[in-house]
Structure 1
Amino acid sequence: MNKILIILSFILFSGITYAQDTLATTEPPKISSVKYTEKDIQVDSSTVEVKTFSKDFKKKYTGPDFVYEQKAPEKGLWQRFMEWLAGLFERLFHFDSAESSFSFVSILVKTVAVLIIIFVIYLIVKAVINKEGQWIFGKNANKRNLYYSDIEKNIHLLDFDKLIKESIQSGERRIAIRYYYLWLLKVMAQNHYIEWDIEKTNSDYLYELQRPVHKEEFTYLSYLYNYIWYGEFEIDETTFKKAENRFKNAIKTFSNE
């Protein structure tokens, strides 16, 4: 075994020694010593065209396609007002930043706008319910409300004959027809043809009538009354006399039966 190790050591030592001798005796590569003269230099004698630019060439590049700097849009009056208000709130309430103050002001302005709209709608609805919206429903809205409320509540206490004469003397024929219709309802209620109730409609009273002849007459008189009263136009003397005679006959008929 020892002999084998001695032989391997000798072979390894010999290889290392041979490699060192080979590196020591190797010569470096030679550098070429070629020399160049002036004859070897070539001069380019071709003509070079000189480029020139017109004096107004800048005008061709002034369009929007050649603008590379984006300008901030100008602020409108509303934007400046909002910024001023945000600055005021920022000074008064010590917001953390201008952005937070601006956000608060935006929400506040929108809330106030919604409240104003709701308030306006409330006023309109209130005017309609209370029948004060004369500018909405026409010039005679207040007059019509008067006759619905005051007269109908006291239908059994009114002297319709006197009221009709006063209306005719003052030239208010439409109001006289109104009185005739209420007088007819009063007589029908007193003679138990209907039960009077201020909330009832003409159809309700028509349903309560039993005899067909009464139904037919009341239907026509209701049509005549609605045409004259709600039509809101003045009637001539001839038309008024025809309507007046028809109401007088009906009142007489319901009073005597």
Structure 2
Amino acid sequence: MLDSSTVAIRPFNDSIYKNDSAFIYEEMPLQTETWWDRMWRKFWKFIDLLFSTKGGKQFFKWGLPAIALCVLGFFVYKFTGANKSGFFSKNGDTAFAYQIDEENIHELDFKTAIDKAIANANYRLAVRLLYLQTLKQLTDRGLIDWRINKTNAIYVQELAGNEQQTSFIQLTNYFDRVWYGETTITNEQFHDVQQSFIQFQQQIQS
């Protein structure tokens, strides 16, 4: 059945849309690519190309974890102070060849070890041995309680009220500068400080 109704044609009134902000669209200006954007685009394109190859996939699988472990090991080494603990050393020492722990500090032959360090002109090591020998003697006299996890500052505090505390502070400061600060000392300088250690040890033994 045919539709014979009359269709009323109304003109299109575009003013309604021109005045309504919801229907106003502005063309977005094209953004110019900077050299920084181009550099990163090329970089990531290179990375994508690199790891799409067989060699790149092998490197991603084995090389990156190895590098990550090396970086982690470096930071652990630096921030735990392992380079100052005596197991490693600069200046060509194999530094403290002894693992000083709570058992063998009382068994170590300090005289032999000190004499050997002096004969090798390893005065940093000799100072460390003299300091550890002093800690052992202080412990033997009951003046401090030596423990592997204690700091030198704690030993100084444990001597509070003792007439030897001031002398011990001076020896501790010297040891810290030589061992941790890696101060270079001459033969003459070492023998001066060695006498200070000997005098202090004689005083606490008397």
TM range (shorter): 0.5 to 0.7
Aligned residue in 2 for 1:143: 94
Alpha-carbon separation, structure 2, partners of 1:158 and 1:196: 15
1:198 match = 148
Offset of residue 82 of structure 1: 5.1
Do 2:177 and 2:183's aligned partners in 1 also have CA atoms closer than 8 Å? no
Report what 2:197 is aligned to. Answer: 247
Gaps of 5+ in 1: 1-74, 89-108
What is the CA deviation profile of residues 92-123 of structure 1, one whole-angstrom value per residue up to 9, with x for unaligned ones?
xxxxxxxxxxxxxxxxx9xx69x976763443
Question: What corresponds to 1:211 in structure 2?
Answer: 161
Cα distance in 2, alignment partners of residues 77 and 129 from structure 1 = 31
Asked if residue 181 in structure 1 is aligned to residue 128 in structure 2, the reply is no
Q: Pairwise mapping of residues 72-91 of structure 1 onto structure 2 (< 5 A)? A: 79=45
- Note the C-alpha offset of 1:213: 2.2
CA, structure 1 residues 160+76, in 2 after alignment: closer, same or farther (shift >3 Å)?
A: closer
- Number of equivalent positions: 153
Quick check: 1:124 aligned with 2:106?
A: no
Question: What is the identity percentage for the equivalent residue pairs of Structure 1 and Structure 2?
Answer: 25
* C-alpha displacement of 1:240: 1.0
Unaligned residue ranges in structure 2 (runs of 5+): 1-40
CA displacement at 1:126 relative to structure 2: 2.6
Task: State yes or no: 1:161 paired with 2:125.
Answer: no
**TM-score (structure 1 length as normaliser):** 0.49
Corresponding residue for residue 12 of structure 2:
none
Question: Do the aligned residues in 1 keep the contact of 2:128 with 2:179 (CA within 8 Å)?
Answer: yes
1:234 match: secondary structure: coil
Larger radius of gyration: 1
Identify the residue that residue 186 of structure 2 maps to in structure 1: 236
Query: What's the CA shift for 1:210?
Result: 3.4
Per-residue deviation, residues 15-68 of structure 1 (Å, max 9, x unmatched): xxxxxxxxxxxxxxxxxxxxxxxxxxxxxxxxxxxxxxxxxxxxxxxxxxxxxx
Deviation at 1:207, TM superposition (A): 1.2
Q: CA deviation at 1:234?
A: 3.1
Higher RCO structure, 1 or 2 (CA under 8 Å, sep 6+): 2
**CA gap 1:157/1:140 in 2 versus in 1, 3 angstroms:** same
SS in 1 for 2:94: helix
- In structure 2, do the counterparts of structure 1 residues 116 and 210 end up closer, same or farther at CA, with 3 Å as the change threshold? same
CA 163–78 in structure 1, closer or farther in 2 if over 3 Å, else same:
closer
Residue of structure 2 in register with 1:172 after alignment? 122
Q: Residue 116 and residue 216 in structure 1: after superposition, are their counterparts in 2 closer, same or farther (change >3 A)?
A: same
Q: What are the Cα deviations for residues 203-249 of structure 1, in whole angstroms up to 9, with x where unaligned?
A: 11111113342221111000011112223243112211110000001
TM-score (norm 2): 0.59
Query: What CA distance in whole angstroms lies between the structure 2 residues aligned with 1:228 and 1:84?
Result: 50
> Residue 182 of structure 1: SS of its match in structure 2?
helix
- Counterpart-to-counterpart distance in 1, 2:94 and 2:65: 30
Q: In structure 1, what residue type is equivalent to 2:70?
A: L
Counterparts of 1:84 and 1:229, CA distance in 2: 47
- Closer, same or farther in 2 for the Cα pair 1:78/1:151, shift >3 Å? closer
